[in-house]
Structure 1
Amino acid sequence: MFQRLDASSTPVRHVQIWLDGTPHQVPDTLTVAAAVLQLRGWQGYRRHVDGSLRAPLCMMGVCQECLITIDGRANRQGCLEPVAEGMRLERQGGGAHDA
C-alpha cells in the first residue's frame, strides 16, 4: 500500500524512536504515522475499540485515523508530527496488537 521512494541523492539522517518499547532507526524525514506504517504496515497501525484494524487514510490531519500516543500524550495525530530522536510511541486501541 505505502512505499517509500528514494528520490533524493542527499543522504538521509536517521533517528532512534521507540515503538511499543522496541527501538527502531527511521529516517528523520518521516512523520510518526509514516514511520509506524513503514515498521508495521497498515494492519499493525492500531485497532478500533471493536477490534477492527485502523490505519491512517488521508495523511494530512483530517480523518483522525492516525491517532497514537506520543511521549505519553494520547490521541496525537501521527500524520502531523515529525519523528524526533528518542521519541516514544505507543499504538492505541482495542487491546494487544499482533505485530
Structure 2
Amino acid sequence: MSQPGEAPVSADVTAADTAAGDHGATRLAPRPLTLPLVPEALARISFDAREVAGREGEPLLAALLASGVRVLRTMPRTGETRGGYCLVGRCTDCMVVVDGRPNVRACVTPLRPGMRVETQLGLGPPVTTDSGAPRAGLDEEAS
C-alpha cells in the first residue's frame, strides 16, 4: 500500500486518491462481477404456482433465493420450516418437489425451463417405481 507522498501501488491509484488519504484502498478500477440479466435469456419456472425466473443451468436454489423464496420444505414431525443451508448438496434442508418428484436437492439441481417446483411438506408425496412399487430414500439422481 502506498503512503501519502509515495508512488501509487498500481496505475489505477491516482495522485488524488493518495492525497485524499485512500492509500491504495481503491487501487483497482471498479469492474462488474456479473453481467446484467437479459430478460430474453431467463428461463421461467413455477414455485408453488408462482412464476420464478432464473438462468437455465444455474442451481435451482439460486433462482429461488434470488426471487425471495426462503422456505423450501417442512420437517416431517414438527412442521418447522427449512431452506438452503449447506448449498452444496450435503444436507437435506433444500429438498423440494420437482415435477411431482420429492426429495430433490434444489442446491445441486440445474434449473431448466418449465420446471414445476413445490414446497416439500414433510416427507413429500409418495413415489413409486415404474412397476408401481413404493420407492424409499433420497433421490440420488439430483446430486
Q: TM-score, normalising length from structure 2?
A: 0.53
Residues 34, 9 of structure 1: alpha-carbon distance in 2 compared, 3 angstrom cutoff? closer
Q: 1:32, 1:82 within 8 Å by CA — same for their partners in 2?
A: yes
For 1:84, give the aligned amino acid.
R
Match of 2:119 in 1: 91
Root-mean-square deviation (Å): 2.1
- Shift in Å at residue 29 of structure 1? 5.2
Matched, 1:46 2:36: no
For 1:47, give the aligned amino acid.
T
Matched, 1:69 2:97: yes
Q: Which has the higher strand share?
A: 1
* 1:37 partner SS: helix
For 2:82, give the aligned amino acid.
R
Distance (Å, rounded) in 1 between the aligned partners of 2:107 and 2:37: 23
* 2:67 partner SS: helix
- Shift in Å at residue 11 of structure 1? 5.0
* 1:80 partner SS: coil
Q: 1:36, 1:45 within 8 Å by CA — same for their partners in 2?
A: no
* 1:65 partner SS: coil
For 2:110, give the aligned amino acid.
P
Q: 1:18, 1:88 within 8 Å by CA — same for their partners in 2?
A: yes
Identity score, percent = 28
Match of 2:27 in 1: none
Q: 1:69, 1:91 within 8 Å by CA — same for their partners in 2?
A: yes
Q: 1:33, 1:78 within 8 Å by CA — same for their partners in 2?
A: yes
Q: Deviations over 1:22-49 (max 9, x none)?
A: 222223353112222222442x222212
Q: Which runs of 5+ in 2 are unaligned?
A: 1-31, 123-143
Aligned residues: 88
